[in-house]
Amino acid sequence: MREVTKRDWLLCSMLNCGYLDLAALDDVEYDWGDVLKQIDWMDGNITFNGLMEGVFELGACHIAEAVDDRIRELEAVQLNSRELDEDEEQELKDLNSLNPDSDIQGYFNCLDTHAWFNQNEDIYRKYVPEALESFEMNTGIPFVS
């Protein structure tokens, strides 16, 4: 176990968290500037849990973008070149039924921070698995069932 530095104690005090919680920050691969743009700064104060909520929100935005990109790709095929086959039609229908803002939820409590699906997990896992893997890798927040 490494020695706790004054810098660690300062961050713990500022973020209202424990020393061990700080390790979760090392798992975040996103640019911290992008994360900070996701945070509601209304009270001018940020806690560790609020910071991790910003990380979650950025990751969820990337999942929503992956869904939207795939929808646009299927619609472009449909408009420009050919009719969609039965599997592609079902995929488009399924993807259009998604709402990442309500489908994907997070819990922010220091080391217990995690994400889960309120609904439609099977659709996300079937059609945008790379986006889910990227979420977990870049946020350090695991999806739990």
Query: Which pTM does this prediction carry?
Result: 0.91
18 C-beta neighbours (distance < 10 Å), count: 12
**Domain residue limits, the chain:** 6-139
pLDDT digits (tens, 9 = 90+) for 87-110: 999 999 999 999 999 999 999 999
Question: Tens of pLDDT along 43-63?
Answer: 778 899 999 999 999 999 999
Q: Residues 126-145, buried b or exposed e (16+ Cβ, 10 A)?
A: ebbeebbebbeebbbbebee
